[in-house]
Chains A and B, each alone.
Chain A
Amino acid sequence: MIIGLCLGALQVGAGEALHLRVDKLIAAKAGKQPLAGTASDAEFLRRVYLDFTGRIPTAKVARKYFSDKSKTKSAKLIDQLFAGPLWAETMAERFHVMLMERRGEDEEWRKWLANSFAKNKPWDVMVREMVAPDFLNEAKRGAGFFLTKRLEKYGQNPTDYPGLTRDVGRMFMGVDLQCAQCHRHLTVKDYKQVDFQGLYSALSNVRLQRTNETIRVAWASEGLLKRKMEFGSVFSETKKATGPRVPFGEEIAIPVFEKGKEWVVKADRKKKITGVPAFSPLREIALRIVMPDNPFFARNIANRAWFLMMGRGLVEPLDLAHSKNPPSHPELLNLLAQELVAHKLDLKWLFHELALTQTYQRNSVLPKGGDAPRHLFVAAKERPIAAEALLLSMLLATGEKERVAKLEEEDEHSLKNFEDLFQSTFANAPREPELAVNATLKAALFLRNNESLLWLVKPREGNLVDRLAKLKEPEKIADEVFMNVLSRTPSASERAMVKSYLKKQSNRDRALGDLVWALLSSTEFYVNH
């Protein structure tokens, strides 16, 4: 035993599992700030279910977990969820929201995301498939939605190439170069105009193409890039030029071809053949973004993974990495990025390690010593629940999931109609990242008065309100409703509250519906804590 401990203590460093090293670095930075304890079984269970299955646990799952007395049950549960069928689907959902920022849906894209996570495709491969999509490959072309959706015109605006350039920088390198389009960035010294323009030269060479007989999705083609992109700062007269270039990297030389050799497939308007140039700047850019010598690449995804798990990035904002905006824990971000590269950009491994950290498993109840600055991660941060997960959770909680799924699409209470309602109520507007819990007047009015939402809390055979109505004692009712909606047992005072509420109300069915409604409308339900 003693020997074991000694050995354990010696194992600091390379051999030690990543999650242990993470916790040490977090504890070291927190210093004397007290850390919150481990989350209760209930809080932990709800958190991992929301994070890795995209919904709350059912009452049955919760009861089983609470009755398990094994000390390793949390790690076992994590393993089980990571091996489960919902893991890839949930990751796909979360990455969809992060990468597309509510621009719209696409079946092939969702399929590609889900398949990529199911196969545990390395992140560098995924990024290459998104930045330089192969539209002829049916298994991969879904990835192209990242580009093609951004090439669509919205409103009366021209194709937003600067926006696409900005997003490639933001999503894959954690740098928002927007303000360096027309001059050097005024507040970030590291971001030069050439960093924007180099990426822009490759991306503005892309054209959106309609579906045709061979490619049955919207797709994009590249033009012949013969010249460097010329640009000048609006503040000076000097003109500069750059070829395609990954931000902060080296310029890619534009090759000169013998006449006739510049095209692999020559464009022919009459025959409606879209040309394929021999030199593909997109492919070159994609290759170089993911190279190990681009430190921004691994650090960005490590930071984004951390954000998805902890509710706050090590670098904040997520897309403003530069030397004057260092991470809250520089050593930690280095470690995550290095280890991720050592593990061949295996995101499943990284998320699994992060799930095992104490930092992730901490309570959202503040420690005794009170709160500390957010970047110290002394307590779990409340995180937003995306519209889709909120809907699934409400359907599960109210016991209406199966009924709703069986209804025809035209039915007022079909899954499709609920999805539309929840998206329009709880999702952000297009191009608006969903980063924090967001309470809105729109949502409050929806929860209070929407007929479809209130339909969920009317008694119907087998649903939660119906089951509650069959229980006699108010204590049992309290237990059942808390377990189904909040995935926990009520406290004594909460039981008393339920009891006195039911006593006061004359219409029992209505009172039970309102009880369920009050829990569904609570902050506790609305956030991932």
Chain B
Amino acid sequence: MEKFSLCGDLCLCALCVKKMNHPLCNATEHALSRRQWLGGMGGAAAAGALGGLISPASGEVLKKKEKQVLFIWLDGGMSQLESWDPKPNTQFGGPFRSIPTNLPGVHVSELMPRMAKKMDKICLVRGICTKDNSHSRGVGRIQRGDPKNRGVIYPYIGSAIAKLMGPTASGLPPYVWVKPGSGGFKPTDAGFLGPKYGALAFGDGQPPPNFIRPKSLSVEQDAARNELRRALNLNYAKPRRKANTEANSFVFDSADALLARSDIFDTTKYPRKEKERYGEHLLGEHMLIGRKLLEAGCRFVKVNSYGWDTHGDNFNGSTSLVGRFDQALAAVLEDLEATGRLDHTLVIAMSEFGRTPRINGHAGRDHWPEAWSIAMTGCGLNRGVVLGETNAKGTFVKGDAWDIGHLFHTWFHALGINSHDIEFDNGGQPLPIAHDDMGVIPGAIA
């Protein structure tokens, strides 16, 4: 990495405080250009795997349990009072009871019977206090970790991980997004990192355009023509700089890797029992697809659920929404644990904010960033802990409160990324990867 010629004498900012040894950057232009290439997928890979070339090391990489992320985004704002932080029989408590969990002394809403039996697997943060109470800004702000304003658009967490960690040895795109609605290559999540770190979205759980092999093309024919393409490429590649050919091979092989897992997108073939366990609703189905994408080797999988903005009829709404979430989350945790994946998979479930304790005239709850909860687990986080608390009425955080910046530091550290030392390099401008005045939440990391 090039040295920054930072201000030095005119140091006005925290930008200059940091050291410049960037363990993720590579000095040679070769590596940089390969990184560019590998990353250049519009939805996106960074450096890491070498397509087409099985180097002796890559077997080892495969065996090594690579760290991955499952990011569950409940768009609109889940009510903490109807889920992780119930306050029954209080002014704002609402109609639902709370139930004991397998963690002594910890109760959750009765809408979460399955997760109640799994609280020993969760790192629950009840002392969340963030700043933005509008969706249009909150959604982006929270997923960007709300860093200090430096005049640039920060990447969403998925793009940041794609940049910082790259694809796994699977060669699959590092940032994928299972969501209702439209799919395709979504470059804007990447902010200043550039479109190559954007998301590959599986809209309605379906693969991107041109994913399906045309009927007229058999598997054998496809393999044969690709074999020919590879062989012919070698003649050109041999006496030249490697970067472009490697990158070209990488994206073709990445397409292969994805195509080889087209089974993931055919949910009609999923075992009935498995589907029932995750729940026969969109969130359940998408969570199941998400789990398969993790197993296939995607670095960061975002599973998106919409419709959580319960300004009206919050209690009926929450009954169905939280119920589905409870089922899908419990199922995916069970599977990740059973396969040992939870130890190297960071799981995060959250919204852009919580909901108001005050119940409005439409039996709804409005936006409330002041005091809400986020559940997370896996990948070196402490399990069976509850961090922070809200006051008796659930209106504000009592004691230590944590902002999204603290959570970003915590997640990065859980993934082995020292967020105090590592910075993004935005064309020479060093930018902290998480809010520079915040740090890891005490007690979160084992």
Could you tell me which A residues sit within 8 Å of B by CB distance? 156, 178-179, 181-184, 186-187, 235, 317, 320, 324, 364-366, 371, 373-374, 379, 382, 428-429, 432, 436-446, 448-451, 454, 491, 493-494, 497, 501, 504-505, 510, 514-515, 517-519, 521-524, 526-527, 529
| A440 with B42, Cβ < 8 A, contacts A182-B151, A187-B4, A491-B235 known | yes
Cβ–Cβ contact A444 & B231, under 8 A: no
Picked from B196, B241, B252, the residue with its CB within 8 Å of the CB of A448 is B252
Cβ–Cβ contact A524 & B194, under 8 A: no
B45 at the interface (CB under 8 A from A): yes
Cβ–Cβ contact B241 & A366, under 8 A: yes
* A364 to B236 alpha-carbon distance, docked (Å): 10
Picked from B136, B213, B232, B241, the residue with its CB within 8 Å of the CB of A494 is B232
Cβ–Cβ contact B214 & A454, under 8 A: yes
* A317 to B2 alpha-carbon distance, docked (Å): 13
Cβ–Cβ contact B221 & A365, under 8 A: no
Cβ–Cβ contact A178 & B228, under 8 A: no
Binds A, one of B33-41, B117-125, B285-293: B33-41
B270 at the interface (CB under 8 A from A): no
Cβ–Cβ contact B36 & A432, under 8 A: no
Picked from A156, A184, A526, the residue with its CB within 8 Å of the CB of B248 is A526
Cβ–Cβ contact B228 & A382, under 8 A: no
Q: A317-B427, A444-B255 are in contact. List 14 more A-B contacts (CB 8 A).
A: A179-B429, A186-B7, A187-B4, A364-B241, A366-B241, A439-B247, A439-B250, A449-B214, A454-B214, A497-B228, A501-B224, A504-B224, A522-B229, A526-B248
Binds A, one of B66-74, B203-211, B303-311, B325-333: B203-211
Could you tell me which B residues sit within 8 Å of A by CB distance? 4-7, 10, 12-13, 15-16, 29, 33, 36-37, 40-45, 136, 151, 173, 185, 187, 194-196, 200, 208-214, 216-217, 221-222, 224-226, 228-229, 231-233, 235-237, 239-241, 244-245, 247-248, 250-252, 254-255, 258, 427-429
* A233 to B173 alpha-carbon distance, docked (Å): 42
| A443 with B251, Cβ < 8 A, contacts A178-B151, A365-B240 known | yes
On chain B, the residues within 8 Å of A519 by CB distance are 232
Cβ–Cβ contact A522 & B236, under 8 A: yes
On chain A, the residues within 8 Å of B5 by CB distance are 187, 324
On chain A, the residues within 8 Å of B226 by CB distance are 518
| A449 with B37, Cβ < 8 A, contacts A365-B239, A432-B194 known | no
Picked from B29, B195, B237, the residue with its CB within 8 Å of the CB of A428 is B195
A50 → chain B closest CB, angstroms: 15
A510 → chain B closest CB, angstroms: 7
On chain B, the residues within 8 Å of A182 by CB distance are 151
Which of A379, A429, A441, A451 has most chain B Cβ within 10 Å? Answer: A441
Cβ–Cβ contact A440 & B214, under 8 A: no
Task: Tell me the nearest residue of chain A to B36, going by C-beta.
Answer: A436
Picked from B41, B211, B228, the residue with its CB within 8 Å of the CB of A440 is B41
* A523 to B250 alpha-carbon distance, docked (Å): 12
On chain B, the residues within 8 Å of A442 by CB distance are 41-43, 185, 208, 210
* A41 to B428 alpha-carbon distance, docked (Å): 40
A482 → chain B closest CB, angstroms: 10
Chosen A-B contacts, 29 in total, with CB atoms closer than 8 Å, are A179-B151, A186-B15, A235-B13, A366-B240, A371-B241, A373-B29, A382-B240, A382-B244, A436-B36, A438-B196, A439-B244, A440-B40, A441-B42, A441-B173, A441-B255, A441-B258, A442-B210, A444-B254, A445-B211, A449-B210, A494-B232, A494-B235, A501-B224, A510-B221, A518-B225, A518-B228, A522-B233, A523-B248, A527-B244
Picked from A186, A444, A493, the residue with its CB within 8 Å of the CB of B252 is A444
On chain A, the residues within 8 Å of B29 by CB distance are 373-374
Cβ–Cβ contact A451 & B214, under 8 A: yes
* A524 to B37 alpha-carbon distance, docked (Å): 15
A434 → chain B closest CB, angstroms: 11
Cβ–Cβ contact B209 & A445, under 8 A: yes
On chain A, the residues within 8 Å of B213 by CB distance are 448-449
* A514 to B12 alpha-carbon distance, docked (Å): 61
On chain A, the residues within 8 Å of B245 by CB distance are 523
On chain B, the residues within 8 Å of A439 by CB distance are 37, 40-41, 244, 247-248, 250-251
* A342 to B185 alpha-carbon distance, docked (Å): 48
Task: Tell me the nearest residue of chain A to B252, going by C-beta.
Answer: A444
On chain B, the residues within 8 Å of A505 by CB distance are 224
* A364 to B233 alpha-carbon distance, docked (Å): 15
On chain B, the residues within 8 Å of A441 by CB distance are 41-45, 173, 185, 200, 251, 254-255, 258
* A178 to B192 alpha-carbon distance, docked (Å): 13
Which of B43, B212, B231 has most chain A Cβ within 10 Å? Answer: B231
B199 → chain A closest CB, angstroms: 12
